[in-house]
Structure 1
Amino acid sequence: MEHHIDFSFSAPYYTLNELSDQTTDIWIVCPGYGQLGKYFIRRFDVFDSEKHFVIALQGLSKFYLPDQKNVGASWMTKEGRETDMQNQKSYFDAVINTLFNSKPLSNYRIHLMGFSQGVSMISRMAAYSKIDFQTMVLWAGGFPPELEPADFNHINRSANLKVVIGSEDEFYALDKNYQPEVDKMEAAIGLKPEIIVFEGIHEVKREVLASCLS
């Protein structure tokens, strides 16, 4: 018989730049399967360091990558999904509460970004934690099937939804298996997505990332 128990759990998060009186924009970002936040966050150095403060979350489960030397992280598997989702929400809320304390996120322009497996994570966090974002960038990843319009009734209808995918992505092709994901995003979030297709594979390119604010 399976049982569950609550206990204290410590997990890392990563920041880039300083949160100061000059900060105008907050990025909350989720890397993909096998990626660590401390490396993923480096790609956000394309933004003005005085105005943009970046927070990289990380999957709570770590494992050795196939080379058996480097370590990666994962958000969840099909096993115990509901428990994993609740743990992730608790982790996310703890990070935000620690960083901002009593200062509301509404004081800033909020940008959310998820890559690959991180797309489902950042989408769930936007829905469950009721984040009113200005920009959401969903980059080559699947959208959570359980999310629906009622989960996003808190967002401003002038917000921007950007869907990004490489022309040679190994896992998705916009004209084949990715269009259904785009349709689910639009139906649930209620925003017409801007589709950005760049020359490249399943990767985050700095120059494409920078263009997501244009």
Structure 2
Amino acid sequence: MASSRTLQTPRTAHYVQHGTPATAPTLWVVLHGYGQRAADFIQPFEKVVREDTACVVAPEALSRFYRDGTHGDIGASWMTSAHRTDEIRDYIAYLNRLHAALLREGGPESTHVLGFSQGAATACRWVARTPATIDRLTLWAGRVPPDLDLEVHAPTFRTLHLTLVRGTNDPYISADAWAQMHDRLRAHDIDFDTHTFEGGHRLHTDMLRTLDAPE
């Protein structure tokens, strides 16, 4: 009988960078949503974040696909339901390695991780398991994944500044689902702040400016 086996192999990862860690006091690591590309996702940040205040890095997920099935526009995905444990392990290792390499280039005083949609779940899993210090986490149009054990990982989330952002007309995360996430975080004594904007499942330039403002 045939059996399924695994083999770890190196991958070439791609990321897009705005600014440089050598001169910026803050490093932003921004994780795109399902079907997006890093080069497109970083564009709103380029319009808002000044290079003298922050370096913004958009890693691209390792799995790519034709969005219409056979040709044309290409999207990327952080994971699917197939071999999800392996994919989670792989992207955590990828993000750890990228973050360490960026810090070696200079000396950012803080790291701000922002995850959009599927990238929000990716950000949560990475922040929960990375040995690196993450100072701020923003979940935009996404949620803490249900399979992330907050009994185990709540101490990590209590050490950072957690922000939740949602468009009032977002079809992918309802007001009820958002409220349930709030309840779950409060049940584990995790502090957070919230922001909403008029709009749907997208980044919002004025809201990005709010997040980029000095604390």
CA shift for structure 1 position 145: 2.1
Offset from partner CA, 1:117-163 (integer Å, 9 cap, x none): 00011111111104433321101113222321432424664x42111
State whether residues 170 and 202 of structure 1, in contact with CA within 8 Å, keep that contact through their aligned partners in structure 2.
yes
State whether residues 137 and 164 of structure 1, in contact with CA within 8 Å, keep that contact through their aligned partners in structure 2.
yes
Aligned-partner residue type, residue 162 of structure 1: T
CA shift for structure 1 position 186: 4.5
How far apart are the structure 2 equivalents of 1:198 and 1:85? Answer: 31
CA RMSD of aligned residues (A): 2.1
Offset from partner CA, 1:18-49 (integer Å, 9 cap, x none): 222x3111101100001111111111120221
Offset from partner CA, 1:42-72 (integer Å, 9 cap, x none): 1112022112001112221101112841100
Relative to the length of structure 2, the TM-score reads 0.87
Aligned-partner residue type, residue 182 of structure 2: V
How far apart are the structure 1 equivalents of 2:68 and 2:27? Answer: 34
Task: Report what 1:153 is aligned to.
Answer: 155
How far apart are the structure 2 equivalents of 1:14 and 1:149? Answer: 35
Query: How many residues matched?
Result: 208
Deviates more, 1:69-78 or 1:148-157: 148-157
Name the CA shift for 1:202/1:97 in 2 (closer, same or farther; >3 Å).
same
**In the alignment, structure 1 residue 96 sits paired with structure 2 residue 99:** yes
How far apart are the structure 2 equivalents of 1:38 and 1:88? Answer: 18
Task: Report what 1:2 is aligned to.
Answer: 4
Task: Report what 1:42 is aligned to.
Answer: 43
Name the CA shift for 1:109/1:99 in 2 (closer, same or farther; >3 Å).
closer
Aligned-partner residue type, residue 119 of structure 1: A
**In the alignment, structure 1 residue 70 sits paired with structure 2 residue 73:** yes
How far apart are the structure 2 equivalents of 1:185 and 1:27? Answer: 23
State whether residues 160 and 191 of structure 1, in contact with CA within 8 Å, keep that contact through their aligned partners in structure 2.
no
Task: Report what 1:111 is aligned to.
Answer: 112
What is the 5 A alignment of 1:133-172?
133-147=134-148, 148-154=150-156, 157=159, 159-172=160-173
Gaps of 5+ in 2: none
More helix by share: 2
Identity score, percent: 25
CA shift for structure 1 position 102: 8.4
How far apart are the structure 2 equivalents of 1:65 and 1:77? Answer: 15
How far apart are the structure 1 equivalents of 2:186 and 2:202? Answer: 23
- 2:20 aligned residue (18, 35, 38): 18
Aligned-partner residue type, residue 177 of structure 1: A
Task: Report what 1:79 is aligned to.
Answer: 82
How far apart are the structure 2 equivalents of 1:74 and 1:184? Answer: 26
Relative to the length of structure 1, the TM-score reads 0.87
